Amino acid sequence: MTTGLIIIVSFLLLAIVVVQISRINEIAKKLRGEEEAERQSNIRQSRYLLGFMILFLLATIVSAWHYKNYFLGYGPHEAASEHGPGLDKMFLITLVITGIVFVITHIALFYFGYKYRHRRGAKASFMPHDNKLEIIWTAIPAFAMFALVINGLVVWNKVMADVNPDEEFMEIEAMGYQFAWALRYPGPDGKLGTRNYKLINGVNPMGQDWSDLKNLDDFQPSELVLPKGKKIRVRITARDVLHDFYLPHFRVKMDAVPGLPTYFVFTPNKTTEEYREELSKYPEYQVPFDPADPTGPKKWEAFEFELACAELCGSGHYSMKKIVKILEPDEYEAWARQQPSFYISSIRGTDEDPYTDQLFDFEIQARKAEFEDALNTAIEAPTPEERIMSLNYVFFETGSAELSPLSKYELDNLVEAMEQRPDLQIEVGGHTDNTGTSESNLTLSQQRAEVVAQYLYDAGFDANRVTYVGYGERQPKDTNDTEDGRANNRRTEIKITNS
Ligand SMILES: [Cu+2]
């Protein structure tokens, strides 16, 4: 605020000075005569040009020196990827060549302005054409440009190269949309599933095709986390408008174009921790990250790599920033193992799920483990009232005693458990919610309990070990006022009856 005020006041004062000087000139002109005043003015202005040149060049050099530790490629900001230093070197060469030209042309510009100021009686020399001069000022820039372009092509071909199919790499996907990035990792199978833009909807933001089994373990983390030292191929796409996948610290930058998949291959070679370590050696990063909190973390401690969008894609463009973390390979593995599959966490069991009529192996395993735990808890319970467990995955068709197909997994768990425990005796109990008359509910619960018992009889157990009772709606476990509560009440239980 005060800085702004000082700048405004300075400009005002400067304007007043300029106005005053021109008024003094007017008066001087009248006193000394027009011609003498003009000569004086020419000398003065040619000197101002020289002064401006010195100030301008000094400011350029001093500010570049002062801020050098903030520039990518300088100070602590060495590239964090394998291809990065090659690009940085190319930029440095270009900067040195164009920098020399920049300084020489500016000195020449202002010096000539000084040297050839108007003098009384001086005459301009007439030089319509000079072959030698033309050749020199065409050949030198042409040669310099040629060298830069050739160097650039060599670096470009290295940086933009795709992976060899037989080489080891990890492929992830980044999709830009207004206004964020959706990231997709291949999951334990190491392969990204196929996508189709026609399948994009509110629950399937990337349009994953669930009929492709490779999609089922893909996960969509909120941060871009990558292992150090691994070659990464990023598939880059856009869902709506142009975006640009930009990882400044890794010198990665590629447009994300709707309908035209692009990619970038790079190998991160510094972890976030290592980069912070490097920053900590520079005084610029030893200051508090948040100036309002002087005791808080230092700039180097709070540093994070970032993913940004480098295409002005609309009003929310600025919000496309994502944190990027580079971890040691074992830390990365631990992180990746914890990421839930998008299909399992967001699609499984919904209307989008094409596999509601089947169980996956891992689900069968998980349900079996859950069953064993619950059974052991019931067997070891101290009082007879607690020796009860629900068969959580036994379901019937609505209003009937017909088992739903997937119930067999839970019933097979029960069969196996009874085979392993020859002295286990159980009572199968059927329960319903309070929809319908209590008589019909009682009948339905008896029929359902009988169907489960029959399954066990068919498996070779007899009535000494398995009895069944229908309790109807008499023993609700939950409220009958909500659908969830009613679903909890429609249950099949087993009671351990051996004492
Ligand atoms: Cu964008």
56 token code pair: 């301008």
Of 68-72, 266-270, 352-356, 412-416, the poorest mean pLDDT is in 352-356
Ligand 1 (ion): which residues have CB within 5 A? 243, 309, 313, 320
Q: How far, in Å, CA of 243 to CA of 308, rounded? A: 10
Q: How far, in Å, CA of 462 to CA of 481, rounded? A: 39
Q: Distance, CA 214 to ligand 1 centroid (Å)?
A: 28
Q: Distance, CA 244 to ligand 1 centroid (Å)?
A: 6
pLDDT of residue 309: 94
SS3 269: coil
194 token code pair: 């196929």
Among the listed residues 93, 216, 85, the one whose alpha carbon sits nearest the alpha carbon of residue 149: 93
Among the listed residues 486, 490, 460, the one whose alpha carbon sits nearest the alpha carbon of residue 394: 490
**What pLDDT digit, counting tens, does each position of 279-298 carry?**
999 999 999 999 898 888 99
Q: Distance, CA 242 to ligand 1 centroid (Å)?
A: 7
Q: Distance, CA 309 to ligand 1 centroid (Å)?
A: 5
DSSP one-letter code for 83 = S
How many other β-carbons are positioned within 10 Å of the β-carbon of residue 144?
Answer: 15
Domain boundaries 170-347, corresponding CATH code: 2.60.40.420
SS3 409: helix
Return the biggest CA–CA distance within the chain: 132
DSSP one-letter code for 433 = -
Reply yes or no on domain 361-496 having CATH 3.30.1330.60: yes
pLDDT of residue 165: 82
For residue 2, what are the CA distances in angstroms to 9, 12, 15, 294?
A: 10, 15, 20, 21
CB half-sphere exposure, 291, CA atoms < 13 A: 0
Q: Distance, CA 421 to ligand 1 centroid (Å)?
A: 62
Q: How far, in Å, CA of 165 to CA of 69, rounded? A: 39
Q: Distance, CA 322 to ligand 1 centroid (Å)?
A: 12
**What pLDDT digit, counting tens, does each position of 194-252 carry?**
999 899 988 899 999 988 889 988 999 999 999 999 999 999 999 999 999 999 999 99
Q: Distance, CA 314 to ligand 1 centroid (Å)?
A: 7
Q: How far, in Å, CA of 401 to CA of 410, rounded? A: 16
Q: Distance, CA 297 to ligand 1 centroid (Å)?
A: 30
Q: How far, in Å, CA of 205 to CA of 196, rounded? A: 11
Per-residue pLDDT, averaged over 78-102, amounts to: 92
CB half-sphere exposure, 313, CA atoms < 13 A: 28
Q: Distance, CA 315 to ligand 1 centroid (Å)?
A: 9
**What pLDDT digit, counting tens, does each position of 463-491 carry?**
889 999 999 888 888 888 888 888 888 89
Q: How far, in Å, CA of 78 to CA of 234, rounded? A: 22
Domain ranges in the chain are 30-118+132-159, 170-347, 361-496
Q: How far, in Å, CA of 386 to CA of 426, rounded? A: 13
Q: Distance, CA 155 to ligand 1 centroid (Å)?
A: 27
Q: Distance, CA 213 to ligand 1 centroid (Å)?
A: 31
**What pLDDT digit, counting tens, does each position of 417-461 carry?**
999 998 889 999 999 988 888 889 899 999 999 999 999 999 888
**What pLDDT digit, counting tens, does each position of 294-308 carry?**
888 999 999 999 999
Q: Distance, CA 83 to ligand 1 centroid (Å)?
A: 24
Helix or strand run (H / E) with residue 235 = strand 232-238
465 token code pair: 């070990």
Residue at 128: amino acid letter: P
Among the listed residues 413, 408, 376, the one whose alpha carbon sits nearest the alpha carbon of residue 395: 408
Among the listed residues 474, 454, 473, the one whose alpha carbon sits nearest the alpha carbon of residue 463: 454
**What pLDDT digit, counting tens, does each position of 375-410 carry?**
999 888 888 888 999 999 999 988 888 998 889 999
Q: Distance, CA 423 to ligand 1 centroid (Å)?
A: 66
How many other β-carbons are positioned within 10 Å of the β-carbon of residue 56?
Answer: 12
Q: Distance, CA 312 to ligand 1 centroid (Å)?
A: 6
Pairing label, strands 224-227, 322-327: parallel
Q: Distance, CA 236 to ligand 1 centroid (Å)?
A: 12
Q: Distance, CA 248 to ligand 1 centroid (Å)?
A: 15
Q: What percent of the chain has pLDDT over 90?
A: 56
pLDDT of residue 498: 79
Q: How far, in Å, CA of 241 to CA of 463, rounded? A: 69
Q: Distance, CA 233 to ligand 1 centroid (Å)?
A: 20
SS3 401: coil
CA dihedral 303, 305, 311, 314 (to 10 degrees): -60
How many other β-carbons are positioned within 10 Å of the β-carbon of residue 49?
Answer: 15
**What pLDDT digit, counting tens, does each position of 28-42 carry?**
777 777 777 788 888
Among the listed residues 497, 446, 496, the one whose alpha carbon sits nearest the alpha carbon of residue 472: 446
**What pLDDT digit, counting tens, does each position of 45-82 carry?**
889 989 999 999 999 999 999 999 999 999 899 999 99
